[in-house]
């Protein structure tokens, strides 16, 4: 059905349900599956403008990267237990626009992601990543709403 599946994970309590949904989608055919976690630029060690020598000791960035790596590894393990072969993918940038860019770059035929039920203030302050992805994605978006 879908030949390239982009699974967006963030470590929220809903992540395991998002991965379970992705494993159900991946059971049809033999798709390429990419488990993707976004790291905010503020917590990235370096960007393309910096040289490796410019990187300073930044414990918050190390913690963010370690957390993202663990989230992706756990998702890969859950998918493997369901018989799904997948690749991990850590990306730097604002979640919505970065997921859209990744979907385009990977040629995704579907994005599987979660949805947080934000308060009105939360929507104003943070914005809805899932709404941004749905509005800008180059492919269908399957949004898991259970488990919040």
- Catalogue the E-assigned strands of the chain: 4-8, 32-39, 87-92, 110-114, 141-144
Identify the weakest region by mean pLDDT among 7-11, 42-46, 60-64, 89-93: 42-46
Distance CA 73, CA 67 (A): 10
Domain boundaries, position 112: 4-144
Question: Whole-structure pTM over 0.75, yes or no?
Answer: yes
Confidence of residue 54 (pLDDT cuts 50, 70, 90): very low
Closest to 102 measured CA to CA, from 67, 64, 141, 66: 141
**pLDDT for residue 120:** 57
Strand partners, 113: 143
38 has pLDDT over 50: yes
- Where are any strands of DSSP class E within 40-135? 87-92, 110-114
What confidence score (pLDDT) does residue 28 get?
A: 85
User: Looking at per-residue confidence, does 53 or 62 come out higher?
Assistant: 62
91 strand-pairing partners: 38
State the pLDDT at residue 128: 85
CATH number at residue 103: 3.40.50.620
Cα–Cα distance list, 91 to 25, 40, 73, 81, 145 (Å): 23, 9, 14, 24, 24
Q: Which tops the pLDDT comparison, 39 or 118?
A: 39
Residue pointed to by tokens 């989230």: 71
Q: How many structural domains comprise the chain?
A: 1
Looking at per-residue confidence, does 24 or 122 come out higher? 24
pLDDT reported for residue 56: 53
Q: How many CB atoms lie within 10 A of CB 105?
A: 12
pLDDT at res. 119: 54
Q: Identify whether the C-beta of residue 5 lies closer than 8 Å to the C-beta of residue 36.
A: no
Residue 89: CB partners within 8 Å, gap ≥ 6?
Answer: 34, 35, 36, 37, 72, 102
Measuring CA to CA, which residue among 14, 2, 27, 34 is closest to residue 129? 14
Q: What pLDDT score was predicted for residue 19?
A: 96
């Amino acid at each position: 059905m879908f030949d390239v599946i982009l699974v967006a994970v963030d470590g929220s309590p809903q992540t395991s349900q998002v991965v379970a949904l992705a494993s159900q989608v991946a059971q049809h055919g033999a798709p390429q599956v990419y488990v993707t976690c976004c790291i905010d630029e503020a917590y990235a060690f370096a960007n393309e403008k910096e040289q490796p020598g410019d990187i300073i000791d930044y414990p918050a960035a190390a913690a963010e990267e370690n957390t993202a790596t663990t989230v992706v590894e756990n998702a890969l393990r859950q998918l493997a237990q369901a018989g799904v072969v997948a690749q991990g993918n850590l990306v730097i940038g604002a979640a919505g626009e970065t997921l859209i860019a990744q979907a385009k770059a990977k040629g995704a035929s579907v994005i599987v992601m979660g949805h947080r039920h934000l308060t009105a203030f939360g929507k104003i302050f943070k914005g809805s990543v899932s709404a941004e992805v749905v509005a800008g994605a180059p492919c269908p978006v399957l949004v898991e709403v259970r488990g919040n």
